[in-house]
Amino acid sequence: MIKKEILLQLKNISVHYGGVKALDGVNLELDEGEIVALMGPNGAGKSTILKVIFGLVPLHSGKILWHQKEITPITYEVVQMGIAFVPQGRRVFSNLTIAENLEIGGFIVDNKKELKRRIEEVLDIFPVLKRKLKLKAGSLSGGEQQMLALARALMIDPKILLLDEPSLGLAPKVVKEVFNKIKEINERHKTTILVVEHNIKSLLDIVHRGYILDKGKIVFQATSNELRQSDILEKVFMGKLA
């Protein structure tokens, strides 16, 4: 079997907020084309992992490697490299139309024709948005806004998509639709996806493998099948991990 290329590697990274050790010696890697879950209780450091990759918080120690080369993430450069981030709470521009939101997502594309092509490509995955292009984003339902946030992130044609709690505040049926879209993005574009969720077992249906984070440390990593069968999630969430 051919080993897939490692795109991004976090090596023994720590992040501090003042006196708070948010991450403590985290090792994590993302390979080409995989969907990886990052799960753990509130305050575990999940969002901090995404933020440090996206250059939003500084490293205290450790290394980040992109294609085996050490980098210091700076947001604008990270976007140029092909990493997109959808933060928690689907912050779409409510007063702008869906089309305008997508154009903003493609801000690094300076060629008008290419911008148009990308919008069409992205809308292929989200027909519900295609029908509402001229509407204000604020008029969309929560699930549709999450779809728009995903679509907007895809406008840079990312190699890696970082998603922070895409299910937050959505009804179970809508969560399933969003997860299915995440899977479709991965299958169509071979996009590597790191998706943070608090404790949603249904996420395991779409991911290849996952990490469990607790108090700033990775306490478990396994394939989704192993995670489904293990009681590690319950243990972590019940605070029963030694």
Closest CA relative to residue 146, chosen from 111, 188, 181, 122:
181
> Is the Cβ of residue 156 or residue 236 nearer to ligand ADP in the bound state?
236
Q: Smallest gap, in angstroms, from Cβ of residue 63 to Mg ion? A: 23
- Given 4, 5, 12, 20, the residue binding ligand ADP (CB under 6 A): 20
> Is the Cβ of residue 47 or residue 146 nearer to ligand ADP in the bound state?
47
> Is the Cβ of residue 40 or residue 105 nearer to Mg ion in the bound state?
40
Give the CB-side neighbour count of residue 218, counting CA atoms within 13 A: 18
Please check whether residue 94 is in contact with residue 149, taking contact to mean a CB–CB distance below 8 angstroms.
Answer: no
> Is the Cβ of residue 20 or residue 104 nearer to ligand ADP in the bound state?
20
Cβ-in-10-Å burial (0-12, 13-18, 19+) of 88 comes to middle
* Token duo for residue 218: 């990775």
Q: Is 17 in the site for ligand ADP (CB under 6 A)?
A: yes
* Token duo for residue 69: 């080369």
Q: Smallest gap, in angstroms, from Cβ of residue 93 to ligand ADP? A: 24
Please check whether residue 130 is in contact with residue 123, taking contact to mean a CB–CB distance below 8 angstroms.
Answer: yes
Residues of span 43-62 touching ligand ADP by CB under 6 A = 43-48
Q: What is the contact surface with ligand ADP in residues (CB under 6 A)?
A: 17, 20, 22, 40, 42-48
